[in-house]
Amino acid sequence: MEKKKVSIIIPTYNRLPSLKECLLSVLENDYPNLEIIIVDDFSTDGTREYLQNMKSERVKIILNEKNLGVSETRNAGWKMATGEVVAFIDDDCRAEKSWLTELEKEFVDEKIGFVIGNTIYFQENYHGNFPERLVNNGKAKWPGAGNIAYRKKTLEKIGGFDGINFPYANEDTELAIRAFSAGWKYERAENAKVFHQKAFWSAKALLRSAHNFSAWPLLKKKYPKNFQEFGPNISLGIFLDLTDYLALLFLPILLPILTIRYFFYGQKEWKVFFAKWPCWLILKRIYLWQEAFKQKSLII
């Protein structure tokens, strides 16, 4: 049976070394019918010059006129795509050789609008330690935009990534819930593997990520029947991740243990450690409550 044409979208911004690894892995993919579209979001680290000098018939380049953010960057890519299926991968990931084959084969009928791939941090069975940013998506549970494929007609019918109304780094989750709510089915492809390159939290980035939890009151308000289709753990549809409350309750006991463990593993970035314990825990709750009050959505 003839393979569907697949368009690979790689959004990038100021990650030239990582982008080169990502592109090499995609070029080595074993899928026979594909195109690659790289969208640069106005990088300033030499990425644009590198892309402008690239000579490859398999790679198309889009250069944003200004920094638009990752959602609009992904949208620019899929709108230019000529494939029946559009696969997204982030510039800090490396695709396994069979990645596209494993994604494409799950589109077994026209009702399947998207397929979720499996993102693994660094390598199989790797156990990293904080402040590493351990980006994992075991068993392809989460519809993260770093490893997911949509039918192009699905995107055309429901629209693309909405980074304006969902500005809390959960626009990929919102898109999948929107597609599911519109009647599209999905599959999980655990063998469609990409490996996230090593990444580390800074105190600033960690505290900024506390805003991400604020997406859930919006999602619950907009998709009351389907907002928990992919998680997270929201007890009774109200209490988001009760383990956080337990951590805050027992923090006087936990903090000395966590401090010793952090020191034992040879870590020295104490600024980022205390940014998480307890600042991040407290901040994400405050942001969540503020958004829940604003949206009149019962979730705490």
Residue 100 lies in domain: 6-200
Mean residue pLDDT across the chain: 94
What is the tens place of the pLDDT at every residue in 223-277?
Answer: 999 999 998 888 887 888 888 888 989 999 999 999 998 888 878 889 999 999 9
Alpha carbon distance 19, 10 (integer Å) = 9
Quick one: 13 and 151 in the same domain?
A: yes
Say if 55 falls within a structural domain: yes
Residue 215 belongs to some domain of the structure:
no
Which pLDDT does position 152 carry in this prediction? 98
Arithmetic mean of pLDDT, 274-299? 93
* In a shared domain, residues 191 and 234: no
**Do 139 and 253 reside in the same domain of the chain?**
no
Distance CA 205, CA 127 (A): 22
Q: Could you say which of 168, 200, 232 is where a domain stops? A: 200
**Is 141 in the same domain as 189?**
yes
pLDDT beyond 80 at 16: yes
- Confidence band for 86, pLDDT divided at 50, 70 and 90: very high
Kindly tell me the burial class for residue 105, based on how many C-beta atoms sit within 10 Å of its own C-beta (0-12, 13-18, 19 or more).
middle
- The verdict on 195 and 245 lying in the same domain is no
Q: Count of domains in the chain?
A: 2
Query: Which of these three, 171, 200, 229, is where a domain ends?
Result: 200
Residues 53 and 173 in one domain: yes
Using 50, 70 and 90 to split pLDDT, how confident is the model at 156? very high
| Length of the chain (residues) | 300
Q: Give the pLDDT confidence score for residue 219 in this predicted structure.
A: 93
pLDDT in tens, 212-221: 989 999 999 9
How buried is residue 227: exposed, middle or buried, by Cβ count under 10 Å (0-12/13-18/19+)? Answer: buried
3-state secondary structure of 52: helix
- Would residue 1 count as lying in a domain? no
- 21 with 164, same domain: the answer is yes
Torsion sign over Cα 290, 291, 295, 298: negative
Q: Quick check: is 251 in a domain? A: yes
Q: How confident is the model at residue 1 (pLDDT cuts 50, 70, 90)?
A: low
- What letter does residue 74 receive in the DSSP assignment? H
Greater pLDDT, 2 or 275: 275
Give the side-chain half-sphere CA count within 13 A for 121.
15
Does pTM surpass 0.85? yes
> How does pLDDT run across 158-175, given as a tens digit for each residue?
999 998 887 788 999 999
Q: Is residue 159 part of a domain?
A: yes
Give me the CATH number covering residue 151: 3.90.550.10
Predicted pLDDT of residue 37: 98
Lowest mean per-residue pLDDT among 62-66, 80-84, 103-107, 128-132: 128-132
- In this structure, are residues 47 and 91 in contact, taking their beta carbons and an 8 Å threshold? no
Verify that 272 and 158 share a domain, yes or no: no
Please give the pLDDT value at position 232. Answer: 84
Residue 266 domain-assigned (yes or no): yes
Same domain, 27 and 173: yes
Give pLDDT, residue 264. Answer: 85
**Domain match, 166 and 266 both:** no
Could you tell me if 61 and 161 lie in one domain? yes
Sheet-wide strand order for 59-63: 59-63, 34-40, 6-12, 85-89, 147-151, 112-121, 185-196, 93-95
> H or E element: which one contains 121?
strand 112-121
- Asked whether residue 214 is assigned to any structural domain, the reply reads no
